[in-house]
Amino acid sequence: MAKNLVIVESPVKANTIGKFLGKDYKIIASAGHVRDLPKSQIGVDLESNFEPKYITIRGKGDIISKLKKEAKAAKNVFLATDPDREGEAISWHLAHLLKIDEEDKCRITFNEITKNAVKNAIKAPRAIDMDLVNAQQARRILDRIVGYKISPLLWRKVRKGLSAGRVQSVAAKLICDREEEIENFEPEEYWSLIASLQKKKGGKSFDAKFYGRADEKIELKNETQVKEILKKLKSKDYVVKKVKKGEKKKSPAPPFTTSTMQQEASRKLGFATRKTMIIAQQLYEGIEIKGHGALGLVTYIRTDSTRISDEAQQSSQKYIEERYGKKYVPEKFRTFKNKSASQDAHEAIRPTYVDMDPDSVRASLTNDQYKLYKLIWSRFVASQMSSALYDTISADIFAGDLLFKANGSKIKFQGFVAVYTEGKDDEAADEDVTIPELEENEQLNLKKLEDKQHFTQPPARYTEATLVKTLEEEGIGRPSTYAPIITTIMSRGYVEREKKFLFPTELGKIVNDIMKNHFEDIVDVKFTSELERKLDDVEEGSKVWAALIGDFYGPFSMTLKEAEDKIGNIEIKDEETDVICEKCGRNMVIKMGRFGKFLACPGFPECRNTKAIVEEAGVSCPKCEGKVLVKKTRKGRRYLGCENNPTCDFMTWNMASEEKCATCGSFMMKKRSGKKETLICSKEGCGYAKEGEME
């Protein structure tokens, strides 16, 4: 038996750590939580200080028996679960089952799974932090009370199987509110007027935008107004009256927090938040790297801090100087200001070994692991580099007394841009806009005047990236909860995603209306944000967890009673389809099940016929000419398959386009890689491909 037992959550993490410690250490994985509240009941004593009733999680008996046996034989037991509230709670539950005293120095934490970090942690064990545990317990109990008290009400009043969550309901409300804004939006007309100008001696033309007069900006609101301006501009000379040259400095974005990593992976890689976290966890826990063994490639992935350790900054600056040159290293270490709600418990997300660049480990990573690692590595390295410098020029150009403005910029020194530029939700990009060298009182040639009518646009629907950004800005949830929040509201059928945009379903709108009208505090952004701050107070030891729940539960129980009395029965009519039930002849309806929508006979329970919803792709199978159907895996991933399956094995993850192959006439498929799209022929062996246009 080993003298020392180290317990972690996952087998991958156990394998990585096992490479760093000698034969005197045995590493075992608990496979996540070992105790939790029961599923069959609320599991919280509402009459006795909200005491939770924990039970051993079903299926964990063998693991717990093994842990008890190994712990009994070991001289020292180290609990090495993740360094956050959830990890602290898992260690506390393990300590309870293994009969380890809470005050024993058994807890070790590390922000990165590297040899030095693990060995240093082993040398400095501490007692379990009960403030962290109590903050996790308080969140778990709050969520349980809300879920187990409101959900049965929805079952009785609306439909069996519905549920409401404390933080998820706020996220759903944000999406519903945005949809309402879009529906109620009234567009307003406006116009733009752009002069395309050229120097007298020729050269490339450039654009100048109409501004107004020297002392007055004029908003162009209708065609009549534009025509009046165009009349005044007739036969006018365009003269440069003022030229201003300058230099603009642009600083890099900070290294990733959980939120910004999820946002950027959504923008640049097209990853869903859940996918990002799964891949990031793999990079954190450790991957077998050829020539190096198992390595944790990135630091802890659940953080809201942009802080970087001195050691990491020093190694990054050394790497940057060697790879890019001294001028790419800033004069002093960069520091980034954290948001006021940041807990700053961990560093930002960064590579554990900066000199292990993405291409050097590519052969050991899956394609998705490589993409995310490259994103994290590039963002971190860029964050420690010199600013980019731009030469700027602006010119005021008059036609009579009417003013046009032209602005240009050109990169002078790349700095961090040599490695990375941050993505934007509106897909705008920093590009060089060149205008020629201009001199004051210089006269220009007018090439053309272009007037355009525009209309103001409604706010865009949320994407996963912009929803995560809003949740973070509003202080709703914490780094570990963003991905589960989005997954939950989608799996419940309250929100759907079309292309990259999130929109509420009819069911989502109905549940949101009930929550908004009868549980105002639960879906109130400020109330939820304030509750998050109180949970932080519990973590810091300045608030008692049971008192926090008591303050919440008193008003909540009154609200619950009022809602029970006020809410009448709400009938949600199932959407009828033109698909006829072959067993009884009724029109089948759309139902929501565990794995999404399906068709069911409305004659239930007399007729129990159900079938999958068939979505035709509108193209013919390149193998047998049968219809191609859009199908879904159990996890919701879409793919194309032939209706004649299993006799025809045609299947592809690529979606169909409207184009036909110029070589063989089969349909072309959209193959995406990040923001790039290629059209490829669906017929095996044809090989025809062309560059596509992103939607």
The residues that are catalytic are 300
Which residue, 337, 349, 347, is CA-closest to 376? 349
The total number of residues written for the chain in this structure: 695
Which helix or strand (DSSP H or E) is residue 153 part of? helix 130-157
Nearest to 408 by CA among 185, 599, 244: 244
H or E segment and range at residue 402: strand 402-413
How far apart, in Å, are the Cα atoms of 688 and each of 677, 680, 695? 14, 6, 21
Contact 10, 34 (CB under 8 A): no
- DSSP per-residue letters across 608-635: --EEPPPEEEEEE-TTT-PEEEEEE-TT
Tally of CB atoms within 10 A around 63: 16
- Residues 682 and 656: their CA atoms lie apart, in Å, by 8
Closest CA to 158 of 507, 496, 674, 463: 507
Q: Are 575 and 590 in contact (CB under 8 A)?
A: yes
The answer to whether 602 and 586 are in contact (CB under 8 A) is yes
**Dihedral (CA of 258, 262, 267, 268) sign:** positive
Using CA of residue 216, residue 219, residue 220, residue 222, what is the dihedral sign? Answer: negative
Number of CB atoms found within 10 A of residue 196's CB: 14
CA–chain centroid gap for 227, Å, is 47
How far is the C-alpha of 579 from the C-alpha of 581, rounded, in Å? 7
Q: Name the residue type at position 383.
A: S
Strand-pairing partners, residue 77, are 5
Residue 292 to residue 297: CA distance in whole angstroms: 11
Separation of alpha carbons 334 and 373, rounded Å:
22
Residue 287 has, within 13 A of its CA and on its CB side, a CA count of 20
**Which residues, in sequence order, are bridge partners of residue 455?**
189
Q: 4, 104 in Cβ contact below 8 A? A: no
3-state helix, strand, coil in the chain (%, to 5): 35, 25, 40
Residues 551-555: contacts with CB under 8 Å, at least 24 apart:
552/142, 552/145, 553/46, 553/50, 553/145, 555/521
Q: Is 379 helix (H, G, I), strand (E, B) or coil?
A: helix
DSSP string, 512-530: HHHHHHH-TTTT-HHHHHH
Specify whether the CB–CB gap between 293 and 299 falls below 8 A. Answer: no
Number of neighbouring beta carbons within 10 Å of residue 490 = 21
CA 313 to CA 472: how far, in whole Å? 26
- The b/e string for 274-289 (b: 16+ C-beta within 10 A; e otherwise) is bbbbebbbbbbbbbeb
How far, CA to CA in Å, does 340 sit from each of 337, 343, 472, 530?
A: 9, 9, 11, 13
Separation between Cα atoms, residue 98 and residue 434, nearest integer Å: 69
